[in-house]
Amino acid sequence: MDEARSFSLVDVCLILTGVIWGVNNIVVKSALSDFSPLAFNAVRFTFASTVLCLIVLLTEKTFRVERRDIGRIVVTGILGNTLYQILYINGINLSTAGNVTVMLALMPVCVAILAKLFGGEDIPALGWAGILVSLAGVLVVALGSGAKLDFSSRTLRGDLLTFLGVFCWSAYTILTKPLVKKYSPARVTALTMVSGTICLVLYAIPYLRAQDWTRIRPASWAGLVSSASLALVFSYFAWSWGISRLGGARTAVYENIAMVSGVLSSWLILGEKWSAVRFAGALVTLFGVIAVRWSETLRRALRLKVRE
């Protein structure tokens, strides 16, 4: 059966990716008590890039790509691994948690629009409805947690930076699709991450020099390694794999699971309150994800019933 129509290992990996990204927020926040954000990201991405390259060497024994694809790989890597990281970190520092949640929740919408305009993906009306339902669920979860929205002149700069970051990640998702149609998801993920990491490290040199490496606790180093291994190596590979099998829009909607996972993690790990409103928002979000993922299957099923 076609993987794009049936639940498969790709979906399992994308669900795990959403869960990992949600928990990762807590891990990173703890590690940043010892690291500066850009020094942390520079080291984290360097570690992840090294691991991905070793995996490709062991499994494929080559990084060869066609010369005409090198430019796309470099641009894709810079968008998803350099610009997105820099814009997101600076954006969240200048905005509010509620505003950032809204901006990140817009990512599946942004990917769907770009996929329709430039990726040639046909998204049924039910799929668009699912994207909006999932977005609404994320907003309910965020507002139910007490996060406040404040779209004013005070947060304008941070909001714009965050939205630009969302656009960069969306463009990364769309540009990845033709690459993973020609090369393995592992090779594409490794090459784009290396490209982005080089630029990220160059940008972070002042912060790497200023970092006090003697005060970093073992727990923070462990957080960095686990974040690099799971939130980057595994999750970026799963994202590329999802794009290759499901397309950009159906993959992107799994991002909203990270929002739900983050709130659940705060409840289970940090003891934050979990209200009925947040629970309802989580269910709505998951319903939206399901609607987007199987919109094409449901549309075909409805057409068959009408014909009968």
- 100 to each of 7, 47, 164, 216, 239, how far by Cα in Å? 31, 27, 12, 28, 21
pLDDT in tens, 29-49: 889 889 998 999 999 999 999
CB 197 within 8 A of CB 86: no
Answer yes or no: is 155 within a domain: yes
Question: What burial class does residue 308 get, using C-beta atoms within 10 Å of its C-beta: 0-12 exposed, 13-18 middle, 19+ buried?
Answer: exposed
Quickly state the pLDDT bin for 296 (edges 50, 70, 90): low
Q: Supply the pLDDT for residue 274.
A: 62
Q: For the chain, how many structural domains are there in total?
A: 1
Output DSSP code: residue 4.
Answer: T
Q: What CA–CA distance (Å, rounded) separates 272 from 144?
A: 12
pLDDT at 144 over 70: no
- What pLDDT does residue 141 have? 73
DSSP per-residue codes, 120-166: -----HHHHHHHHHHHHHHHHHHHHTTPPP--STTTHHHHHHHHHHH
**Tell me, what's the pLDDT at 258?**
81
Q: For residue 304, is pLDDT > 60?
A: no
Residue with tokens 């972070």: 204
- The pLDDT confidence band at residue 148, using thresholds 50, 70 and 90, is low
Joined together, the tokens standing for residue 60 give 């494929």
Confidence (pLDDT) at 5: 58
Q: How far is CA 292 from CA 122, 265, 287, 289, in A?
A: 12, 25, 9, 5
Q: What is the mean pLDDT of the chain?
A: 84
76: Cβ contacts below 8 Å, ≥ 6 apart = 172, 175, 176, 179, 192, 195
- In terms of residue numbers, what domain contains 66? 9-307
Q: Is residue 2 part of a domain?
A: no
Q: Which pLDDT score is estimated for 139?
A: 75
Of all residues in the chain, the percent with pLDDT exceeding 90 is 45
In a domain, 1, yes or no: no
Q: Does any domain span residue 4?
A: no
Residue carrying structure tokens 């690099």: 228
Q: Are 36 and 273 in contact (CB under 8 A)?
A: no
How many CA atoms, within 13 angstroms, populate the side-chain half-sphere of residue 12?
A: 2
> What is d(CA 140, CA 259) in angstroms, rounded to the nearest whole number?
11
Give the tens place of pLDDT for each residue, 52-98: 999 999 999 999 999 999 999 999 999 999 999 899 888 877 776 66
Query: Binning pLDDT at 50, 70 and 90, where does residue 305 land?
Result: very low
Q: Specify whether the backbone of 273 is left (phi greater than 0), alpha (psi in -120 to 50) or beta.
A: beta
- pLDDT for res 295: 61
Hey, what are 131's tokens?
A: 């994207």
User: Would residue 109 count as lying in a domain?
Assistant: yes
**What is the phi/psi pair of residue 288, to 5°?**
-65, -40
The answer to whether 256 touches 108, Cβ cutoff 8 Å, is yes
Confidence of residue 23 (pLDDT cuts 50, 70, 90): confident
Residue 3 lies in a domain: no
Please check the confidence at residue 302 and state whether its pLDDT lies above 90. Answer: no
Comparing 128 with 190, the larger pLDDT belongs to 190
Is residue 255 a part of any domain in this protein?
yes
For 242-286, how does the pLDDT look when each residue is reduced to its tens digit (9 = 90+)?
A: 999 988 888 888 888 887 777 777 666 766 666 677 677 777 777
